[in-house]
A and B are shown apart, each in its own frame.
Chain A
């Protein structure tokens, strides 16, 4: 491992291999790590074990099919998997439609800038560390919010989350993307 390698960078390499080579070994590694977390996440959101198992399989199948849509300059694999699981939950548990923002995508030929992608993955890890270091009470509240257990009016205005640097990273990626789209 070089200094620049992070766990998150490794996951995004696995997704790239699923995308380009339909690599089942890489997919099996992703599955072993993420599927049990997705299943637990869905159960904490109120799904029974059978439904959570089924949805977790669906989420992992979506990861396979949509690997080409993963953008390592704007999200870590964990974040991307989280958004797929969240959408599956809305669909399965709330039976609601979810309005999605207009997609911004690089052109078909775009190869991710390695440095940008690595920087974003590092920011994601830092955010994870910062979250783990929050006082117990605050961390529990944040978890509850993400398990779908708190409405927007119950979420306090001052979330106290250290989002500054990851936000600037994502903002930079968006600026580059907008520049390229012109």
Chain B
């Protein structure tokens, strides 16, 4: 767990995730950050407690006549061995937190990087289409092209650090960018930066070259 995280998830993101109403791509960034940050884990649990209170307050509605018996049958229909959940495996030396490893199909060495030019590499992860999420590999000192945002962009640092007009973001930090932010993230010198970035609308690139390349990059 990381004790030096300065930039956390916002309340609306945590609440929407607790409510189960965040695009899958954003959900992956939230789940990954929460795996690294006990502060947000506690905030998430308190938003889930609101869900518990909402459920408790909901008016009841009538169950089917045989509902309880049908449920007991569902219970006995599950073979005993399926009821046992495997103990949580904690891979202490993995770089990627568990939710991310599940999408990659392994740790960082299993990522299938594709070059996007300027020595920057990316790997798009499969999620539902309402938003997209990718791993980005930015060599030390290299910049991601200057861009603005049409929707929301979440960028979570997994290794190294990047700096933009807003601040410096280190391991575990998450930057929440929206329409108001136009930025040029640059990987800090000395250490290559790996981050997880999700967007719910295509980025707006300022330069001509990246704009031409945009359909190919899928950003």
> Which of A's residues lie within 8 Å of B, judged by CB?
24, 28, 31, 34-41, 43-44, 52-53, 56-58, 60-61, 64-66, 69, 74-76, 78-83, 85-87, 89-90, 94, 96-105, 108, 123-124, 127-128, 131-132, 142-143, 145-153, 155-159, 161, 163, 166-168, 170-171, 174-175, 178
Contact = CB atoms under 8 A, between A and B. Distances in A.
Given A57-B71, A152-B13, A156-B12, A40 B58 contact: yes
Interface string B50-90: 11111111111111100110111011001000010101101
A168 to B, nearest CB: 8
Chain B at the A interface: SS class: helix
Chain A at the B interface: SS class: helix
27 contacts: A35-B68, A37-B55, A37-B56, A39-B60, A40-B60, A56-B67, A75-B52, A78-B56, A82-B55, A89-B20, A98-B27, A101-B30, A101-B32, A101-B35, A101-B99, A105-B88, A131-B57, A146-B50, A147-B19, A150-B19, A152-B12, A155-B12, A159-B15, A163-B46, A166-B46, A168-B42, A171-B38
Contacts of B17: 152
Among B50, B68, B103, residue most surrounded by chain A Cβ atoms (within 10 Å): B50
A86 B47 CA distance: 13
B42 A170 contact: yes
Given A65-B75, A65-B83, A170-B42, A53 B52 contact: no
Contacts of B13: 152
Given A36-B61, A153-B152, A101 B15 contact: no
A161 B152 CA distance: 23
Contacts of B58: 37, 40-41, 44
Contacts, number: 221
B155 to A, nearest CB: 16
Contact of B42 (A76, A83, A94, A171): A171
A167 B63 CA distance: 34
B188 interface: no
Contacts of B34: 101
Given A65-B75, A163-B43, A83 B63 contact: no
Contact-residue size bin, chain B (C-beta under 8 Å from the other chain): 35 or more
B109 interface: no
Contacts of B28: 99
A143 B54 contact: yes
Interface string B18-48: 1111101011101110110011011111111
A89 B19 CA distance: 10
Given A40-B60, A98-B27, A142 B1 contact: no
B31 A57 contact: no
Interface of B: 1, 10-13, 15-22, 24, 26-28, 30-32, 34-35, 38-39, 41-64, 67-68, 70-72, 74-75, 78, 83, 85, 87-88, 90, 97-99, 102-103, 127-128, 151-152
Contact of B51 (A65, A82, A94, A100): A82
A69 to B, nearest CB: 7
Contact of A102 (B16, B30, B97, B152): B97
Contacts of B102: 99
Contacts of B68: 28, 31, 35
Given A65-B78, A96-B24, A171-B38, A152 B99 contact: no
Nearest 7 pairs between A and B by C-beta?
A: A79-B52, A36-B60, A152-B16, A78-B52, A155-B12, A102-B35, A102-B98
A11 to B, nearest CB: 10
Given A78-B52, A127-B49, A142-B54, A61 B35 contact: no
A43 B16 contact: no
